[in-house]
Structure 1
Amino acid sequence: MTEVRIARWDEDDLDLLRRLNTPEVRHHTGGPETDEQVLARHERYLQGPGPRSGSMFTVVLLPDGVKVGSVGYWERVWHDEPVYEMGWAILPEHQGRGLATAAVRAVVAEARAHGRHRWAHAYPSVDHPASNAVCRKAGFTLLGETEFEYPPGRLMRSNDWRLDLKA
């Protein structure tokens, strides 16, 4: 298994966010954002951790220290209960090596340490086998398919994966 560490999002990560904003990476999440949207997202990530910005991290490949993606969690209400939602993205040239799974496991440990909510959820598209595999390998339980709004204003068919942060 390839090793990664996660590092708190910082000012220098705007270029990484732009590199993640491609049709290939964002195919299952509504497509690329405008540069204005990317800049706004970067600013939200810098504000974190917080209720609107969440806790965002870069995924750093070890031992060479190359930033290869992003991972994070943020608060939301799901079925009338406060939970954490988790999300991630890995640059195409680094996909398929277990990096997303390792990064999700690391961010789960962060969310557990924060201890605010019992449940973490992830909502990958039903037609995104790689992200669904990450959920399974990271220890999430598949609750079933659901309609999920992402990006805002667009419903997508997603799987609802849940992980017990108190276990």
Structure 2
Amino acid sequence: MHILDTERLSLREFTPLDAPFLLRLVNEPGWIRNINDPGVRSVDDALAWAEGRLFTAYRELGHGFWAVVRREDGMLVGMCGLFKRPALPEPDLGYALLAEHEGRGYALEAARGCVAHAKAMLGWQTLMAITALDNPPSIALLGKLGFVEQGQEQLDGYNEPSRVFKLAL
């Protein structure tokens, strides 16, 4: 299902056909270093991960992490979206790109679209975000969006503490 468009990107729900892409994305060195290693090692693992992490959220919450597609050629470049983690008091913004698509402003553009969607379409008043302690690109991106760092927390499901950010919409 289509969610939103930005100047260069379109965000949509992931589908089972995206499992090979998800397998690649969650095994990127940047994903493993800055998010976690979900132990996804096959297309079947990726499909099971997507069911538990993505498809369930679409059905139960009406939002989640969406596929980021380049409009000019339909290439899937990453994910970005809105998710309610049990460990955080408010929904949060998350994003990840394949390394080959980093540095082109796609993450910032997709994130801006998601922030606008959270406010206009979902009526939310606050968003949160988390990063690894040492992730300068994500910290800078959140700053460009107006997020303010709230400190560090050890969140369930993560081996290391996370930097926690908040944005009033």
Alignment of 1:2-151 (within 5 A): 3-26=8-31, 27-35=33-41, 37-44=45-52, 45-51=54-60, 54-77=63-86, 81=89, 83-112=90-119, 113-115=121-123, 117-149=124-156
The CA distance in 2 between the partners of 1:157 and 1:48, in whole Å, is: 24
Q: CA deviation at 1:54?
A: 4.4
Bigger strand fraction: 1
Residue type of the partner of 2:64?
Answer: S
The CA distance in 1 between the partners of 2:47 and 2:164, in whole Å, is: 29
Q: CA deviation at 1:124?
A: 0.3
SS in 1 for 2:55: helix
The CA distance in 2 between the partners of 1:163 and 1:6, in whole Å, is: 21
The CA distance in 2 between the partners of 1:73 and 1:50, in whole Å, is: 14
Identical residues among aligned pairs (%): 27
Return the TM-score normalized by structure 2.
Answer: 0.80
Match of 2:4 in 1: none
Question: What runs of 5+ residues in structure 2 fail to find an aligned partner?
Answer: 1-6
1:162 counterpart = 2:166: yes
Residue type of the partner of 1:161?
Answer: F
Q: CA deviation at 1:103?
A: 0.9
Return the TM-score normalized by structure 1.
Answer: 0.81
The CA distance in 2 between the partners of 1:50 and 1:121, in whole Å, is: 22
The CA distance in 2 between the partners of 1:135 and 1:10, in whole Å, is: 28
| Alignment size in residue pairs | 158
Which has the bigger relative contact order, CA under 8 A and spacing at least 6?
1
Assess if the C-alpha contact under 8 Å between 2:40 and 2:49 holds in 1. Answer: no
Counterparts in 2 of 1:161 and 1:51: CA distance versus 1, 3 Å? farther
**How large is the Cα RMSD of the aligned pairs?**
2.4
The CA distance in 1 between the partners of 2:49 and 2:61, in whole Å, is: 11
The CA distance in 2 between the partners of 1:135 and 1:5, in whole Å, is: 20
SS in 1 for 2:133: coil
Assess if the C-alpha contact under 8 Å between 2:23 and 2:40 holds in 1. Answer: no
Residue type of the partner of 1:17?
Answer: L
